[in-house]
Amino acid sequence: MDDNEPKLTEISQLGEFGLVDRLTKELPLTHESSVKGVGDDAAILHYADDKDVLVTTDLLLEGVHFDLTYVPLKHLGYKSAIVNFSDIYAMGGTPRQITVSLGISRRFAVEHIDELYAGIRHACGVYGVDLVGGDTTSSRQGLVISITCIGDVAKGGAVRRDGAKDTDLICVSGDLGAAYMGLQLLEREKVASAGQKDFQPDFHGKEYLVERQLKPEARRDIVEALREAGIVPTSMMDVSDGLSSELLHICKASSTGCRVYEDRIPIDYQTAIMAEELGMNLVTAALNGGEDYELLFTVPLTAHEKVEKIPGVKVIGHITKPDLGCYMVTRDGNEILLRAQGWNPLQ
């Protein structure tokens, strides 16, 4: 590369979504087996008459996505697999296989990689997924983890981002912001431990936050509960970059607006206490924190009663016509414009 090339554009000017939009613009799908390409939690492929194949992939880099100072390798392996399973569940599908590629720098010993793999294998065991391939190489730049997950879903049954309609209810599983607060806590203890030998981090009363950050689960149970209740979501995503960002994705893809209500957003009390301790705005953390791996989905208004009966699911708002925009209604009745302030991995 010549550093003197004219008119170069810094990647941070575009951000991840801007860059992906640019790179994947006018990407033709030429083969009959390619149903849906870039732009959802997973690609949809047509290889069989009775089901569709789903494919998703995640790249995790040391120093960008994880810090081995406080992330045990076994947990890292588990989480690396889970984030991929979550993308398949977010399409209403079931993860079946993963491939695992690792780039390993010299400071890792075989036993370290055993630990990482033990976590991946454990996740596979819990979710009934087979590890079927991968690539292993050395790395100059710390640990590199690239996982691809293949799953399936009933033919035509994949739940995409683009199906939300005016008056649909917006639902979310579990609670939000805890993983982000867990990260803040781990970072705080890392700073406190600097230079101290035998430092014992203090997670008392905040175990849930640490667990949400280090050992998230994919919401297979919610997908199953929806299926059992006979509810077909009109759109669905997993919350990896933060509720605001994901809601905006759904509204953009579906050409709608939305209203979510501050007092409906599910937040655990440990998250609230931690936000208080850190002097952070609690709702901002819940809206923009990311890494929750909960499911965000929309259902027709007619499914209201049924969806409210599913444990762990909360209706937080509704879809509107596009000209009404995307807003959160605060407790005092004001409307705040939703922005994608989620974690930007390209900054």
For the segment 71-130, give every residue that binds its own copies (CB under 8 A). 73, 96-97, 99, 101-104, 106-114, 117, 121, 128-130
**Smallest gap from residue 181 Cβ to its own copies (A):** 23
| Beta-carbon contacts of residue 243 (< 8 Å; ≥ 6 apart) | 172, 176, 260, 265, 286, 287, 288, 292, 296
Taking CB under 8 A as the binding criterion, the range among 142-150, 250-258, 269-277, 279-287 that sits at the site for its own copies is: 142-150
Helix (H, G, I), strand (E, B) or coil at 53: strand
Tokens representing 179? Answer: 């993983």
Residue with smaller CB distance to its own copies, 74 or 314: 74
Number of residues that bind its own copies (CB under 8 A): 86
**Smallest gap from residue 262 Cβ to its own copies (A):** 31
* One residue of 76, 88, 123, 150 binding its own copies per CB under 8 A: 150
Q: What is the DSSP string of 282-329?
A: HHHHHHH------EEEEE-GGGHHHHHTSTTEEEEEEEE-GGG-EEEE
Residue with smaller CB distance to its own copies, 327 or 343: 343
112 and 73 Cβ atoms separated by less than 8 Å: yes
Residue with smaller CB distance to its own copies, 8 or 192: 8
Q: Does 329 bind its own copies (CB under 8 A)?
A: no
**Smallest gap from residue 338 Cβ to its own copies (A):** 23
Site residues (CB under 8 A) for its own copies, limited to 275-294: none
**Smallest gap from residue 223 Cβ to its own copies (A):** 17
Site residues (CB under 8 A) for its own copies, limited to 8-47: 8-11, 13-14, 16, 19-20, 22-24, 27-31, 33-34, 36-38, 42-43, 45, 47
Q: Is 167 left (phi over 0), alpha (psi -120 to 50) or beta?
A: left
| DSSP collapsed to 3 states, 197-245 | CCCCCCCCCCHHHHHHHHCCCCCHHHHHHHHHCCCCCCEEEECCCCHHH
For helices 178-193 and 269-278, give the axis angle rounded to 10 degrees.
Answer: 50
The residues with which 294 forms a beta bridge, in sequence order, are none
Pairing state of beta strands 335-337 and 326-329?
antiparallel
**Smallest gap from residue 63 Cβ to its own copies (A):** 4
* One residue of 131, 272, 315, 329 binding its own copies per CB under 8 A: 131
